[in-house]
Chains A and B, each alone.
Chain A
Amino acid sequence: MKKAFTAVAIVVALAASSFSTAQAGPAEDLAAFQGYYAKLFPNVPAADFKDGAYALDAALKEQWQTMEEFPPYEPDVDAGKKMWETPFKDGKTYADCMGDVKAVRGKFPHYDAEKDTIATLEGALNACKTAGDGEGFMDKEGKPLLNKGKIAQLAAYIAMEGRGGKIDIPTPEGKAVAWYDKGKNFYYAKRGQLNMSCADCHTYNAGKKIRADLLSPAIGHVTHWPTYRSADGEITTLHNRFMGCNTMVRANKFKAQGDEYKALEYFLTYMSNGQEWNGPGSRK
């Protein structure tokens, strides 16, 4: 009898917990997510999270600001501007697909209801180029190159022109919630031989050091892309960083602009609502 009672109690408890999980929608997640970091870093002004790990350490921040005096991404911005202004084979330009360059950064990512997908900046640029040139961004072998190279340079120019705007992703509704959930699940799932989730490093241990690296909080993760990393010696996209962090835990990495990373970007960008767009970025 007691056993049966316990079993029932467990079932009820499980039902209750899954009920409360179902109740917690994106808006509740957002409040909890941002509240968590506000509590973890009471001395960091909310607006500073866009600076990643540099927001947490004054000495690191100073080094970084010195680096920013001669921005390492400047040549990339110039190259991107040229691309933006150069007509495609069909005579059209990026502005024909994307509109005023100043407003482009803030339009992405968003849920595209017609295609039931997440539209990203790089995805839209690639589609625009494909329409105008008959081919998208490719490497020398003709394979799609969407995580660095020219597409990152073009995105650097767009980010520069869009600086100062605020992230303002509408709360996911309807079918967009499935994309949001996909990204959220990706963020919290343990993966790879080293068995770590994004959250292990960038939520639960944000502000701690892993070896010599100070772990950045996930709020602000999306604000400053593309980013020139000294360690890479080139400018790369957010999805390239996802690939790097997946590889670090010896997990499979996914394709840049594939559904996994688009969903992850959508989730993380919504979690950064209110932060300023401050790309392109530089990191050591």
Chain B
Amino acid sequence: MRKLFRNLAMSAVVSVLALSTSVPSAYAADDAKKADEAKAADVAAKPADAAKPADAAAKPADAAKTEEKKEVTGKDLAFDRAKGNCLACHIIAGGDLPGNIGPPLAGVSQRIPDKAKLRAQVYDARVANPDTIMIPFGPMGVMNDEEIDKVVEFISTL
């Protein structure tokens, strides 16, 4: 059935990359909390996890600066709604209100022991599954290489 839908839609599968560089401005809009659509941004928005509001406030809006900040861990990035937001779709130990679109990540390092493979999945999930809903974090510039490495380190402890 899913196949049928894809066929129907084949001509339509066009990626419209809109806000190519404006990850920080997506936060800004949400911070301002004025636009209703920002409130609707259940997935991509909210500067950081509710669990660490102080950290969120301290976080610079600039992605490059975030990168310099050594205290930002792979776990932080994985849980941050504006970065990995892996919890939107995956159950991860220690994360609140996880979604269930993707498989729980517990034991993922045993299922995918090869770190390069694990990284490839996080970098661009479309390679393994062209239809995937999982965000192509690398090619779309949602996280940079260093951030992706950190996230991969983190999930390989799970």
Contacts and interface: CB of A to CB of B under 8 A. Distances in A.
Given A193-B142, A203-B5, A247 B98 contact: no
Contact of A191 (B4, B15, B29, B39): B15
B89 interface: yes
Interface of B: 1-2, 4-5, 7-20, 22-23, 26, 29, 35-45, 81, 85, 87-89, 97-101, 131, 133, 135-136, 140-142
Contact of A240 (B13, B36, B88): B36
Nearest to A215: B101
A252 B18 contact: yes
A184 B8 contact: yes
Interface of A: 17-18, 20-21, 24, 29, 32, 35-36, 39, 148, 184-197, 199-201, 203-205, 208-213, 231-232, 234, 236, 240-241, 243-253
A185 B7 contact: no
B13 to A, nearest CB: 6
B88 A210 contact: yes
B17 to A, nearest CB: 6
Scoring B10, B17, B23 by chain A CB atoms within 10 A of each residue's CB, the highest score goes to: B17
Given A203-B5, A244-B39, A250-B18, 12 more contacts: A191-B16, A200-B133, A209-B100, A210-B101, A211-B99, A231-B40, A232-B36, A234-B36, A240-B36, A243-B40, A248-B43, A252-B16
Contacts of A252: 16, 18-19
A250 B42 CA distance: 12
9 contacts: A148-B36, A185-B12, A190-B14, A191-B18, A192-B16, A195-B140, A205-B133, A211-B42, A251-B18
Nearest to B135: A194
A245 B5 CA distance: 20
Given A192-B19, A201-B133, A211 B12 contact: no
Scoring B2, B97, B99 by chain A CB atoms within 10 A of each residue's CB, the highest score goes to: B99
B19 A21 contact: no
A248 B101 contact: no
A83 B102 CA distance: 48
Given A20-B7, A196-B133, A244-B36, A211 B43 contact: yes
A244 B7 contact: no
Contacts of A192: 16-19
Contacts of A17: 7, 10
Contacts of A245: 40
A211 B16 contact: no
B13 A189 contact: yes
B43 A199 contact: no
Contact of A248 (B22, B42, B89, B133): B42
Contacts of A193: 17-20, 23, 140-142
